[in-house]
């Protein structure tokens, strides 16, 4: 993950006692390049581009982190992993939770890990478009993607526009998050 291409988004909310820092967002060059390549491939097949799915991106990052020390294996279709909760990854339910993903919205998703030494961009792209993975990239059911990379590993998580593969945020968490965000603002009204 090259931090050189990072977009630092810092929101500072100052109100007497309150200082809120929204964490740094990193645009990973390798991931953006790959998504562009995948979308060119999709467009050449008359398919719409994959849109970035934030929750799936979070999951892809976490998964890349988890498999980065695994032996580098050749990409074959058999390596595609259904994204349902029965996934073979260690701590999977925990990772879903960390990424605020409702497990019920993952069943139709698919996880495509690839290992390429130094993540050489052309090889990474062809590992998705010229192997058994191609049939997932060339599938109109998938409309979104999350990408994550760590060392020699790239992970693409494909999502659908249907609820069963949308990787939607857990509604409760969203409400809770908003509440957490606005509570200090509300509180400050009463304190003025």
Ligand X SMILES: *[C@@H]1O[C@H](CO)[C@@H](O)[C@H](O)[C@H]1NC(C)=O
Using the rule CB under 6 A, is 62 a contact of ligand X? no
Using the rule CB under 6 A, is 131 a contact of ligand X? yes
Range 17-46, binding ligand X (CB under 6 A) = 45
Binding-site string for ligand X from residue 139 to residue 168, where x marks contact by CB under 6 A and - marks none: ------------------------------
Surface-to-core class of residue 125, CB atoms within 10 Å of its CB (0-12 exposed, 13-18 middle, 19+ buried): buried
Residues 6+ apart with CB under 8 A from 46: none
Range 84-113, binding ligand X (CB under 6 A) = 102, 104
Using the rule CB under 6 A, is 75 a contact of ligand X? yes
Q: Is the dihedral of CA 94, 98, 104, 106 positive or negative?
A: negative
Using the rule CB under 6 A, is 126 a contact of ligand X? yes
Residues 6+ apart with CB under 8 A from 177: 100
> Which C-beta is closer to ligand X: that of 2 or that of 120?
120
Buried-state track 80-107, b at ≥16 Cβ within 10 A, e below 16: bbebbeebebeebeebbeebbbbeebbb
Using the rule CB under 6 A, is 13 a contact of ligand X? no
Phi and psi angles of residue 101, each rounded to the nearest 5 degrees, phi first = -105, 130
Size of the site for ligand X (CB under 6 A): 13
User: Residue with the closest Cβ to ligand X?
Assistant: 126
Interface contacts to ligand X, rule CB under 6 A: 45, 75, 102, 104, 115-116, 123, 126-127, 130-131, 134, 138
């Amino acid at each position: 993950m090259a931090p050189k291409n990072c977009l630092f988004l810092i929101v500072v909310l100052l109100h007497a006692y309150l200082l809120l820092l929204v964490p740094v967002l990193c645009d990973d060059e390798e991931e953006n390049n790959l998504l562009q390549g995948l979308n060119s491939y999709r467009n050449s097949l008359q398919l719409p581009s994959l849109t970035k799915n934030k929750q799936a991106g979070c999951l892809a990052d976490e998964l890349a982190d988890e498999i980065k020390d695994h032996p580098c294996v050749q990409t074959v279709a058999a390596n595609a992993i259904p994204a349902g909760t029965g996934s073979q990854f260690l701590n999977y339910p925990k990772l879903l939770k960390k990424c605020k993903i409702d497990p019920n919205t993952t069943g139709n998703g698919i996880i495509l890990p690839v290992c390429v030494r130094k993540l050489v961009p052309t090889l990474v792209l062809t590992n998705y478009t010229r192997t058994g993975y191609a049939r997932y990239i060339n599938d109109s059911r998938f409309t979104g993607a999350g990408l994550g990379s760590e060392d020699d590993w790239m992970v693409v998580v494909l999502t659908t526009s249907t609820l069963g593969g949308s990787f939607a945020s857990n509604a409760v968490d969203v409400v809770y998050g908003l509440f957490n965000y606005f509570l200090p603002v509300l509180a400050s009204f009463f304190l003025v």
